[in-house]
Amino acid sequence: MVKEELAVATASERRSRIRTYVAGRLMHPKADWPRGGSLSAPLLTLLKPSIVAAYTAAGFWGEETIYHLSARHARMTPQAFAVRDRHRRLSYVELVAAADRLAAHLAGQGIRSGHRVAVWLPSRVEAAIALLACSRNGYVCCPSLHRDHTVGEIVALVDRMRAVALIAEPGYGADADCHDIFIALADGASLRCARRVGPARAVPFGELRGPALETEPSKDANQVMYLPFTSGTTGEPKGVMHSDNTLLATARMMARDWRLERSVLYTLSPLSHNLGLGALITALASGGELVLHDLPRSASLLDRLQETGAEFLFGVPTHAIGLLAELRSGGTRRVGAVRGFRISGAAAPAPVIAELMQYGIVPQSGYGMTETCSHQYTLPEDSPERIVETCGRACAGYQIRVWRQADPDIEAAPGEIGEIGGRGASLMLGYFDDQQATEAAFNAQGWFMTGDLGWVDETGYLHVTGRKKDLIIRGGRNIHPASIEALALRHIAIEKAAAFPIGDARLGERVCLAVVARYGIAVDAGAILEHLDASGLSRYDMPEFFLQLSEMPVTATGKLLKRELVRRVAEGQLQPLPVRFRRRSVAHD
């Protein structure tokens, strides 16, 4: 890693040394930067032999690709199930055979190692097969094309990644009623083949037409294999490059720490989301089975969990809230075999955590991002307080460190709030087609800077206080939105909360608290302020505006879009209510 003497005095010197550091780690100088380069040239990454050697020697990386790992499960436990949706349930043998069919078909179309394969599918087994086929042949899989995307947006992403193949479901997407992705891409410059998946009950990739070419499976677990795009909560989405090894690093640790070996995992998030993809990798890493959530809206999630024998869930707070609502309405005391629930995307309200534990489900609070995978999480034996108040500890193979907000090259003091930096075996290999963004993502010490603020307590548990860009500055005082939101979510009436700034001519910014109420519970702004005060919020951080919404604006992956709230207020679409906290006087004898 980079040595301490890289700390420098001036901003210009820091930028120069960061460029030198990143350039020193970059491999494949003839990669397809800038745009217009060879479609199959090696991608420019942050990988170098010493890093491969170090993580391999430590046991965090290995020689097996995700395909080879799955093939090993197929040989050792041929009857074991790997993945299922509502209509198909595939064993490891069937999963690998389907991946072989697809890989041979794509190779027959002239697709070579390093080429990008775009996948636009709902929750169905073909998405898992496509990922495995890409791992097998050394292709770069991009499954982060979402249901909420329009055909025009998909065309732009396909063009941006210069994909040579598209695998999609006809009629899928936000505007499928008036646009067809296959027609829209008929004249694509880079696209060589577009494949429609068959009916949901059909044999996956059972009727592929055209030449097929069987090739030897790739033996390189360190080449770029996965290309998701960030959710774009603070700007233009960036393509994030991962290898088989970076994906497997945290998946193996989570399976070990939560004892998920050969377990049935259930993802409420689709495989187009990083959380759902992580669930798939965790299942494959542990020889378990992944159940995809593809139920109609009216169907019972509880029945599905009991039917599939699900033991561990992956989802966002909204999923947990919906499950609890069904449990309460049915008077059920247990949720089949479910014993754990990874809740990501946002902090879960304390009442949700407590209620899940009443049903024997231990929530897992965590922290991670597309660039770093799910490296941070609480453990099964952690107390409810730790689950509610922290994001857990970094797993083996990953490190976090907090850096000063004013100077990200200087480490923050113990307990001081600063920008969270990280490094480790699950860290991305760089941003696709964006060397400038890759350079800007690291400090002079070589740590990836997340843009999130937080602090680490004496036990090593991380407390996230918010995004650096979300920081509210009122009259020179830094106010952390996450602290306000966490306390607001402890109120029984609040299901979702978001603190964001409203411009002020005198103070610069003031705090607005937007909330979504739990169904059937009235929300009183004054009562919420009293609750925040009683929960320990400083009066200097109190919201001065209050906004009750029926729903929050979110990205395609379900992450809150605060900038959209700021915009709607600025344009007059939303009109927050001015509020003022007044502490009630205490009578004395």
Domains of the chain, first to last = 66-235 (3.40.50.980), 474-578 (3.30.300.30)
Q: What is the pLDDT of residues 39-68, one digit of tens each?
A: 556 788 999 999 999 999 999 999 999 999
Listed ranges 308-312, 328-332, 503-507; the one with the highest mean pLDDT = 308-312
Cα distances from 28 to residues 49, 114, 162, 334, in angstroms, run 12, 12, 18, 53
**Hey, what are 112's tokens?**
């070579």
| H-run or E-run covering 497 | strand 494-504
CB 577, CB 545: distance < 8 Å: yes
DSSP character at residue 411: B
210-230 CB burial, b ≥16 within 10 A, e <16 = eebeeeeebeebbbbbbbbbb
| pLDDT above 70 (res 235) | no
| CA atoms of 395 and 402, how far apart (whole Å) | 16
Question: Please, what sign has the CA dihedral across residues 122, 123, 124, 127?
Answer: positive
CB 517, CB 493: distance < 8 Å: yes
Query: Cis before residue 34, ω within 30 degrees of 0?
Result: yes
* Alpha carbon 399 to its chain's center: 18
Picking from 426, 424, 434, 423, the residue whose alpha carbon sits closest to that of residue 44 is 434
Q: First vs last Cα of the chain: how many Å apart?
A: 65
CB 30, CB 41: distance < 8 Å: yes
* Whole-number pLDDT of residue 6: 30
Query: Facing residues of 142 across strands?
Result: 118
Looking at every residue in the chain, the average pLDDT score rounds to: 89
Contacts of 538 (CB under 8 A, 6+ apart): none
What backbone torsions phi and psi does residue 559 show, to the nearest 5 degrees?
-85, 145
- Which residue is listed with tokens 């990922």? 131
Cα distances from 22 to residues 18, 246, 443, 448, in angstroms, run 6, 18, 10, 11
Amino acid found at 422 = G
Torsion, CA 24, CA 30, CA 35, CA 41, rounded to 10: -120
Q: What is the pLDDT of residues 410-419, one digit of tens each?
A: 999 999 999 9
CB 511, CB 569: distance < 8 Å: no
Picking from 581, 483, 497, the residue whose alpha carbon sits closest to that of residue 536 is 483
Average pLDDT of 189-193? 88
| CA atoms of 116 and 122, how far apart (whole Å) | 19
Q: Is 62 or 26 the better-scoring residue by pLDDT?
A: 62
Q: For 380, what's the count of Cα atoms within 13 Å in the CB-facing half-sphere?
A: 13
| CA atoms of 92 and 244, how far apart (whole Å) | 18
| CA atoms of 439 and 155, how far apart (whole Å) | 28
- Which residue is listed with tokens 């009578």? 587
DSSP character at residue 203: P
Average pLDDT of 448-461? 95
| pLDDT above 90 (res 334) | no
- Which residue is listed with tokens 């991946």? 99
* Whole-number pLDDT of residue 585: 55
| Percent of all residues in the chain with a pLDDT value above 90, rounded to a whole number | 74
Strand 448-456 vs strand 418-424: parallel, antiparallel, or unpaired? Answer: antiparallel
Instruction: Please list the alpha-helical segments (H only) found in 258-349.
Output: 274-285, 301-308, 317-330
Strand 289-292 vs strand 242-243: parallel, antiparallel, or unpaired? Answer: unpaired
* Whole-number pLDDT of residue 44: 85
What is the chain's Cα-based Rg?
Answer: 24
| CA atoms of 249 and 244, how far apart (whole Å) | 9
Q: What is the pLDDT of residues 521-580, one digit of tens each?
A: 889 999 999 999 999 888 889 999 999 999 999 877 677 889 899 999 999 999 999 999
Query: Facing residues of 166 across strands?
Result: 118, 194
CB 437, CB 35: distance < 8 Å: no
* Whole-number pLDDT of residue 347: 78
What backbone torsions phi and psi does residue 315 show, to the nearest 5 degrees?
-175, -170
Picking from 520, 514, 579, the residue whose alpha carbon sits closest to that of residue 551 is 514
| pLDDT above 90 (res 514) | yes
Q: What is the pLDDT of residues 465-478, one digit of tens each?
A: 888 888 898 887 88
| pLDDT above 60 (res 433) | yes
Max distance between CA atoms of the chain, in angstroms, equals 92
Picking from 19, 17, 16, the residue whose alpha carbon sits closest to that of residue 6 is 17
Cβ neighbours around 156 below 10 Å, total: 12
> What's the whole-model pTM score?
0.83
What backbone torsions phi and psi does residue 263 show, to the nearest 5 degrees?
-95, 165
| CA atoms of 224 and 234, how far apart (whole Å) | 25
| pLDDT above 70 (res 10) | no
DSSP character at residue 435: H
| pLDDT above 90 (res 171) | yes
- Which residue is listed with tokens 């609040």? 494
| CA atoms of 332 and 334, how far apart (whole Å) | 6
Instruction: Please list the alpha-helical segments (H only) found in 40-150.
Output: 49-57, 66-76, 92-108, 125-137
**Banded model confidence at residue 483, pLDDT cuts 50, 70, 90:** confident
| pLDDT above 80 (res 346) | no
* Whole-number pLDDT of residue 33: 34
